[in-house]
Structure 1
Amino acid sequence: MSTLLLLIMPACAIVLAWWSIEHRYRRPLKQMIARIDALGGASNPERLPPGQTMHGSLADRLAQRVDHLCAANCELQEQAIKDPLTGLGNRRLLEQRLDIALPLSRRWLHAVSALVIDVDHFKEYNDLYGHQAGDECLVEIANVLRDTFRRETDIVVRLGGEEFLVVLLDADEEEAVRLAEAMRGMLQAVGIEHEASSVTDVVTVSIGVAVTRSGEPASLDDIIATADAGLYECKETGRNRVISRTVTRTDREETSAMA
């Protein structure tokens, strides 16, 4: 009898261990895989090839599903900071980058310049050529912006409609105006027809430039307000030009009054 018990006890221990592993590990893991498969769109999982263990298969599939979900999440995050039409950044990207860049620029006593770029008579362009042509025009302008502002630190975004914003870190007024004029001239040279423009017969832009004094504090709203004030002056004096201003505390109030 004792001999029989000695033989049975190891067998029982093995059964109990198997049951514990099945219920505590394998079954939850298989359920997790099934849920991940459902999220990832997988169906009809393949049978294990000869020599491959269930543990290895589940671990591999789990790793693959996690990689798939991580890639999908990264893609969603990327889409959240990009303008869907032009592929440029959007306001969210701008705020994320500047939350870090502006304090560092003040600490390092670097000037920050911003360009607000507006397409001249874009409403008239849409009215004459249609919204599809208007979208194609904006995409072409985005391409010119990419060709002009190539530094890794340059932040190029579409604010909305026909308005774009470029932020140049560690760039003084001379450099900012030079690049703004280069972009304006490059777009005009592309020669996108615009017969409804009162400026010329091709698409042009007006650019307001704002420049901070090295090391002086300035918020994103202050910088944009100053650039907007320069842009307003461009429109008042004939469009298709660049006007720069230094960031001051009163620019936001002036811009609000203009609106």
Structure 2
Amino acid sequence: MVAVDPEALPSAKAVNHQFNVVIDGAETTIHEGVLRCNGGTLTVVSPGVLEVNRLQHVVVRGGGGGDVRFARCGFAAAEACGAVSFHRCDAVRVDGAGEVAVRRCRSADVERAGTVSIRRCKGAARVHGAGELRLGRCREADVGNCSDVALGRCREARADWCGSLGVARCRSADVSRCGAVRVDRCGDANVSSCGSVMVRRGKVNMVEAHQPLQGWQEQALCQKAEPADAVPMEIMSK
């Protein structure tokens, strides 16, 4: 006879990705098939992969670490999911995800995510508590508590308590309490209480008395007991 350990058998919970969905205030669950509601659809295209299309107000939770893809929705939110993507939605929100991708949405609000990529937001993009963040071509960017950040071509950018931060081709930027900061071709940037700053080209206002060096040379900013006044400067590389 062969002894079988029940704990060694794969459980149904391990292979059954069940998503909890709230559509216009009504809650339901889906783990397979297609659900049509209010002119939109929810489709499980493969185990653990849910596609959401053309719903006005939808929130997706859980799914056992499954992936969710939103397209052409009004308000779309994902909570405690694996990989989440949004395309051409109005307002999107994420709270807890491994990977997040946002393309051509009106606004984005992301908290507690691993890798985040946001492109072409017409409004504001807010990201707090992410690992790697790549954000470009947004009207406003508000970033905090992220490890590795690259911001590009935003009208207004704000960053606080980040590790490595790169800001390129932004009209204005406010940076505070970050580790290593790189500024490239920004119109007006305010930098305060950061570990090191590198400036390639642009106008930079620094609270510390030390000035950034021309080119991509790095300068450590010394902490003083009493901060000096902001010193505006413009760096132009040849």
If the TM-score is normalised by the length of the shorter chain, which range does it land in?
under 0.3
User: Relative to total residues, which structure has the larger strand share, 1 or 2?
Assistant: 2
User: Relative to total residues, which structure has the larger helix share, 1 or 2?
Assistant: 1
Give the TM-score of the pair, scaled to structure 2: 0.26
Name the structure, 1 or 2, with higher relative contact order (CA <8 Å, separation 6+). Answer: 1
Q: Which has the larger radius of gyration?
A: 1
